[in-house]
């Protein structure tokens, strides 16, 4: 596999200028209809609806994957199902399974037909192009009782057990859609995300009721930078969505006051119960912790909001999931993205003639930059990290999140240079970028490498004049994806970048499909022709 030095034309870097273009180009999709606001706190999840039935199904592991039952659709009114469940009395596992199958349409019980994409018989880029229609879903009006959230436009799912649209997955998927000329699908997914903000006040983790109490890393502004619009109404609607998302992320419960009085944000979740989709696992983790279970549940949920579920980043002892303390950590990736969001809002407001707004958000971005440089920079380690509010210091250990200040342009020139050096020394593996340097068995740790983090690295390193290192990351990762594709005919959600094979760890088997891997691979192939 060969690669060439990247051309600057068509570069997908997210900049304030790109955001301005996104708010001022041309729109082709018809206008979204007005939507009514919904209080997420009032939406019932499957755990709310089915109570002790739900707990029995999940804790007794009637289905191997905890996500199966929460995605099931009731065949009749939940109240009727619960009435019959309580009247039936005690059931063994076989009886409980039979009861569920009689009362719910349960997904994933029968293997889905393998799509005709050519498999290993075609080059990987063509295989990915053929996968887009397989992963694309039409506008969704959920059936009665479903946990799915309505979506007004077509969208792309990751694949495998992930049957819905996910927030930060969307951005990395869109990179590939854009590279493959699927601009209309990029536009429709942005419309879907804007619609979610308008209804719920934020983009949920994924488009299910059980994800509404949290979000994921805020990439909406970056998505908009990929898709120019000119229609005044669309521009205004997008800008309003960004402002509303900023307000969501800066509420008091998500805000940490640093020692100098400045504020930065952390991950959070509005609920303090086990996650619906990982109920059994969360109950067991909380039981093993010796801590108040509500505290553990919120930290697990906040870890899920980070997208890094789970990682040594969030573990106070670096190894044990029961030590998770996500909400006590000020993360560098989140605050770097919020810096980008604030810059994007300032640019959009200036374009709209909202001078006070533009000035306010310019100042907010500058304040955040200074706070990140002061509190999330580790001088001794020459890298960015996460601030531990208990230890009152940056947590030890370099992780791929160190590259987010480079991705968004927040980092100073010197800090960017030193971060690149630390990345090359500690995170660059033979087959891509490691997620961390710690092996815990969690999926967001060594030896795994993830497509979105490769893209963050390539973009950030290129921006800070380390194109050589960016190219090395890209070549090694795409070569790993290619080798696995040639072996299995699949594109996976994660890879072992030390052994060049499928990744592992975490709460479920490695999934194939896979939206963000497809997207990043196609964007990198476009960046480095011949790869």
Q: Which residues are catalytic?
A: 309, 493
Q: Which residues pair with 384 in a beta bridge?
A: 377
Decide: 192 and 153 in contact? Cβ < 8 Å.
Answer: yes
Q: DSSP assignment, residue 427?
A: I
Backbone angles phi, psi at 302, to 5 degrees: -65, -35
Q: CA 335 → CA 24, 161, 316, 365, distances in Å? A: 26, 30, 20, 10
Whether a cis peptide bond, with omega within 30° of 0, leads into 355 is no
Backbone angles phi, psi at 14, to 5 degrees: -90, 110
Whether a cis peptide bond, with omega within 30° of 0, leads into 507 is no
CA atoms of 448 and 496, how far apart (whole Å): 4
Gyration radius of the chain's alpha carbons = 22
Neighbours of 13 (CB within 10 A): 15
Decide: 451 and 521 in contact? Cβ < 8 Å.
Answer: yes
Residues in the chain: 531
| Tokens of residue 331, six digits | 């993360």
CA atoms of 13 and 34, how far apart (whole Å): 32
CA atoms of 386 and 474, how far apart (whole Å): 25
Pairing mode, if any, of strands 393-394 and 428-429?
unpaired
Decide: 210 and 275 in contact? Cβ < 8 Å.
Answer: yes
């Amino acid at each position: 596999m060969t690669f060439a030095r990247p051309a600057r034309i068509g570069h997908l870097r997210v900049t304030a200028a790109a955001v301005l273009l996104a708010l001022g180009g041309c729109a082709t999709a018809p206008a979204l209809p007005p939507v009514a606001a919904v209080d997420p706190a009032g939406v019932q999840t499957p755990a709310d609806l089915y109570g002790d039935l739900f707990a029995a199904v999940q804790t007794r592991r009637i289905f191997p994957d905890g996500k199966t039952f929460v995605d099931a659709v009731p065949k009749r009114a939940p109240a009727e199902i619960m009435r019959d469940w309580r009247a039936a009395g005690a059931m063994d596992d076989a009886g409980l399974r039979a009861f569920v199958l009689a009362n719910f349409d349960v997904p994933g019980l029968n293997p889905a037909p393998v799509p005709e994409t050519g498999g290993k018989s075609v080059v990987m880029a063509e295989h990915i192009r053929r996968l887009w229609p397989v992963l694309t879903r039409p506008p969704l009006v959920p059936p009665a009782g479903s946990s799915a959230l309505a979506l007004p436009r077509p969208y792309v799912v990751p694949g495998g057990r992930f049957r819905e649209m996910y927030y930060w997955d969307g951005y990395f998927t869109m990179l590939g859609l854009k590279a493959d000329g699927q601009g209309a699908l990029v536009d429709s997914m942005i419309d879907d995300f804007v619609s979610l903000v308008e209804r719920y006040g934020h983009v949920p983790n994924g488009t299910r009721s059980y994800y509404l109490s949290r979000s994921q890393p805020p990439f909406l502004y970056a998505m908009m930078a990929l898709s120019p619009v000119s229609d005044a109404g669309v521009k205004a609607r997008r800008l309003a969505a960004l402002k509303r998302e900023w307000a969501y992320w800066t509420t008091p419960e998500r805000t940490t006051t640093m020692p100098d009085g400045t504020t930065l944000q952390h991950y959070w979740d509005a609920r303090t119960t086990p996650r619906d989709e990982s109920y059994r696992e969360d109950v067991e983790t909380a039981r093993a912790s010796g801590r108040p279970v509500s505290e553990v549940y919120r930290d697990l949920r906040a870890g899920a909001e980070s997208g890094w579920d789970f990682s040594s980043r969030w573990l106070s002892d670096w190894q044990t999931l029961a030590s998770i303390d996500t909400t006590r950590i000020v993360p560098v990736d989140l605050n770097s993205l919020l810096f980008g969001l604030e810059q994007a809002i300032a640019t959009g407001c200036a374009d709209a003639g909202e001078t006070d707004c533009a000035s306010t958000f310019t100042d907010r971005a500058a304040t955040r930059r200074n706070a990140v440089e002061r509190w999330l920079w580790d001088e001794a380690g020459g890298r960015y990290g996460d601030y531990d509010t208990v230890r009152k210091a940056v947590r030890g250990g370099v992780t791929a999140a160190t590259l987010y200040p480079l991705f968004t342009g927040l980092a100073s020139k010197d800090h960017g240079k030193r971060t690149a050096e630390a990345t090359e020394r500690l995170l660059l593996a033979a087959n891509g970028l490691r997620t961390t340097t710690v092996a815990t068995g969690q999926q967001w740790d060594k030896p795994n490498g993830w497509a979105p983090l490769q893209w963050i690295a390539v973009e950030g390193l290129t921006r800070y004049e380390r194109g050589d290192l960016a190219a090395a990351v890209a070549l090694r990762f795409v070569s790993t994806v290619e080798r696995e594709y040639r072996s299995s005919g699949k594109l996976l959600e994660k890879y072992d970048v030390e052994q060049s094979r499928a990744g592992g760890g975490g709460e479920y088997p490695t999934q194939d499909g896979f939206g963000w891997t497809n997207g990043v691979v196609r964007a990198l192939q476009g960046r480095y022709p011949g790869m």
